[in-house]
Amino acid sequence: MSTFEKTEMTTLTSCSNKLLNEGYTENFIAVEKGLEAPSKNKTYTPFEVKIVNFYRFEGESDPGDNAILYAIETNDGVKGIVVDAYGAFTNPFVSKFIAAVEDMSKKDPKPKDENLDPL
């Protein structure tokens, strides 16, 4: 029987720290032209990244505490995070960028194998 360590993932800080320990070290910044990686001095388009995971946090008493943390990997191996508020406080650059990535990732990247039986 294997054992595992349960990680408390209830706060933005705990999730950020977990991702940092997993190698998500870049703090991406959404700008008008895309997603900027400051340490690499490079800006990525929605076609150059994938959202590996995301975590949503809701403030119990203050809507300003509502946030989404995205774990992102680029096509050249850069791993990092971007955080956005949601609701009235959302960053329009983050929202626009993430929506473009999500739309792209919903497409089936591989053609279907016509030799497989349908379910």
Domain region containing 26? 12-105
Whether 30 maps to a domain, the answer reads: yes
φ/ψ of residue 27, rounded to 5: -100, 90
Whether 117 maps to a domain, the answer reads: no
The total of structural domains in the chain comes to 1
Phi-psi region of 84 (alpha: psi -120 to 50; beta: other; left: phi over 0): beta
Whether 1 maps to a domain, the answer reads: no
pLDDT, tens digit, 9 for 90 and up, residues 33-48 = 999 999 999 999 999 9
Whether 4 maps to a domain, the answer reads: no
pLDDT of residue 90: 86
pTM of the model: 0.75
If DSSP codes are grouped into helix, strand and coil, which group holds residue 32?
Answer: coil
Higher pLDDT, 62 or 78: 78
Q: How far apart are CA 20 and CA 107, in angstroms?
A: 29
Query: For residues 69 and 12, is the Cβ–Cβ distance under 8 A?
Result: yes
Whether 29 maps to a domain, the answer reads: yes
Mean pLDDT check: name the lowest of 17-26, 45-54, 62-71.
Answer: 62-71
